[in-house]
Structure 1
């Protein structure tokens, strides 16, 4: 993935081996240690700002950073609204969080900010950050933040899904139980999860009360919400067939077009209406009959890179389905240059809000730096295999080139047929000329000569008409220019 130099990306065999060892060792380690990771150094150094919150800090990793200080006072003012609504005081919220302080602290990599070594400071961070997030999800909108500026409302939703900007979900759940004591028949966990999914634009689902959710990023990450139920393991499910090499996954978009493959972008909503089911951005399809590669439209703006990077970093650190890693790998192979982006944009696959095709190219070409991926479990393996089989047939390339170079206008087929007819008439006329020559030497077949003469004249007439049509078609562009 990405156009990285050899020193930046490990050899393919090392990637595969390192990925398997990393995930195997991590699975047992995670059960006894933190569940909210810091972004690994090699990922962070590619684009550090992609993992930094812009307006709000949640949890200890970005605690008391100067550019986030403005929101701290706002959190406390929002907490006063909760106190007024619930008739519970700060002391009661602190007591509830003290019981979870030790468990919560273990969820993070150490060391933390020096102030958070003090229990009271850590507990207050849990109370104010947790209550703010719960109330925000419960209200379901960001209208209350308009007074802080439009950029705050825009950035906050993205900040809450950063890998390092998370509180354990059990903290949010406990605070939600205090704020909303009577959730109804659905239960606290299912209701809070549904509110969270709706807030982040996902389809709300019913979540059993014994479901284990680590944090908001994990809940929102999986488009099908295959979250884990306590005491059970979710199978890490991918195609089992081995893929030859991710480095030669599929050709670029312009190369695929030259091989006769057509691109078609469609909105997710339209796909849902057509298929009558739940669709998402990862539902890429290839039609063997029409040779059409259908890809859901992707809006690319200034938040796209940071969103993708945090989801991909999460997938690197947990044994979950690597939707984003494999999607970026697939798109990265399609996009080599700005010409590829231009083709995908004109096909409706990329909705470019950056205004520059080269900027989109740079985003996808760098997203894969230092990202480990498993070539034996590639999500789009079947599509890549069928696309490559199509491209390996030379006839498909010749046919596409013929259509592109000689049949690219409505007049091209007419010109081709006229030329073909002229060639056939010439061949027929030549044959009759030879017959006439031999038959003139045979006086006993005078009647046949009359027939030959008839066809000779007919051939001259057709040839003249065809030549006139041919000249008209060739002269037409010049005539249009003059007019």
Structure 2
């Protein structure tokens, strides 16, 4: 968390100029989808807002009613600050009403068939989100309970809880002093990333069009194995569940592969700067699988599911970082023993307190998720560890080391046993020779 910092590099402005896009560019009509049924039925609660509704999909649900009064109070503060009335905001949103309505799957809740109610939703929801981003913190909600301030940030990154970015941009331009549309765009993007505690990446792909806040934040993730546009394009013809598998963590350890957790802040990629959770590497010379440390808590599944649903809906347009990461981890984790091994090697920090809970989380995250074998980011790593495990001598070596050389004293004990065995053999030989001499 932190306050807005307009001095930070407006990285999306650079993208706009390089790609010839403006913030008002035309985008495809439907950009905010409902979660597909195959994903929703695995864990419906992961896609439901806890405290606040944004947009039409969860409009006026009873458990979110308390925040409606707060939205109106915040709007009154905006009116006082800007000297603009409700009618002026309604007028501007009315110009965008048809375009905004087309961004959502139809039909919408019956109340929102009315144009005025839809416009009011745009005004109150949009101004509330913009004001949150401008403030850059959630201190005002601490008195409502710590869970409320935590849940709001999570709710704003739910797939179904979004307003189109062009709506937020228009409202931001009305609320902020007027430095010009391009500057508004840069300030809103930068302030939003500060609010969600995300740093802008050094390498940008597919970020010229910002659909909504979830899409914006997703675009800040990157991967050292980021594919080319041609590789992403191949996904359509290969969009299926890959036929190959990969051994679990305990099986890999039994085959002589070592694991180590890497703090993200200690990672650095020459081309892409600061590392992140997706930068898994395998050193074939040392047989070491390095995985960035992941803290698994109550909100982890919810966060992953919404990013994954976004990737599934735009599979050929955005990188599938979360999907492929979950698929990889799901292959590593089959039982609670795999989680225990990853915990022991400081790869997973288990805030759930139960290894079985982490196991179930990753196994369920992979349910009903499609991914491409051609575009799978960890394909090379999977191939290398599979190739290593196919060689039986690697398994024998690992078993020998585990059973007989698993302590610092093991080599000495092994040597002592070997010497004892040799002495026993020599004694037997001398006894046999002595027996024959006596017979002669």
Question: Shorter-chain TM-score: what band?
Answer: 0.7 to 0.9
2:219 is aligned to 222
- Deviations, residues 252-280 of structure 1 (Å, cap 9, x unaligned): 01100100111111221122499992211
Inter-CA distance 349–205: structure 2 relative to 1 (3 Å threshold): closer
How far is 1:423 from its partner?
Answer: 3.5
SS in structure 2 of the partner of residue 212 of structure 1: coil
How far is 1:243 from its partner?
Answer: 12
Q: How does 1:308-457 map to 2 (within 5 A)?
A: 308-318=304-314, 319=316, 320-425=318-423
Separation in 2, partners of 1:392, 1:434: 45
How far is 1:424 from its partner?
Answer: 3.9
Paired residues in the alignment total 404
Q: Which moved more, 1:70-79 or 1:429-438?
A: 429-438
Structure 1 unaligned spans of 5+: 1-29, 227-233, 441-483
Separation in 2, partners of 1:251, 1:420: 34
How far is 1:130 from its partner?
Answer: 0.5
Separation in 1, partners of 2:360, 2:342: 15
Using the size of structure 1 for normalisation, the TM-score is 0.77
Structure 2 unaligned spans of 5+: 1-25
Greater C-alpha Rg: 1
1:47 is aligned to 43
How far is 1:240 from its partner?
Answer: 7.5
Using the size of structure 2 for normalisation, the TM-score is 0.84
Q: Which moved more, 1:181-190 or 1:308-317?
A: 181-190
Q: Does 1:133 pair with 2:135?
A: no
Q: Which has the higher helix share?
A: 1
Separation in 1, partners of 2:167, 2:27: 18
SS in structure 1 of the partner of residue 289 of structure 2: strand
Separation in 2, partners of 1:411, 1:400: 17
2:256 is aligned to 260
Q: Which moved more, 1:417-426 or 1:360-369?
A: 417-426
- Deviations, residues 143-170 of structure 1 (Å, cap 9, x unaligned): 1111211111011111001000000000
8 A Cα contact 2:342 2:348, kept in partner: yes
Inter-CA distance 376–205: structure 2 relative to 1 (3 Å threshold): closer
Inter-CA distance 190–275: structure 2 relative to 1 (3 Å threshold): closer
Q: How does 1:32-43 map to 2 (within 5 A)?
A: 32-43=28-39
1:199 is aligned to 195
8 A Cα contact 1:238 1:377, kept in partner: yes
How far is 1:249 from its partner?
Answer: 2.2
SS in structure 1 of the partner of residue 374 of structure 2: helix
CA RMSD of aligned residues (A): 3.1
Q: How does 1:294-309 map to 2 (within 5 A)?
A: 294-309=290-305
Q: Which moved more, 1:45-54 or 1:245-254?
A: 245-254
SS in structure 2 of the partner of residue 286 of structure 1: strand
Inter-CA distance 191–309: structure 2 relative to 1 (3 Å threshold): same
Inter-CA distance 150–244: structure 2 relative to 1 (3 Å threshold): closer
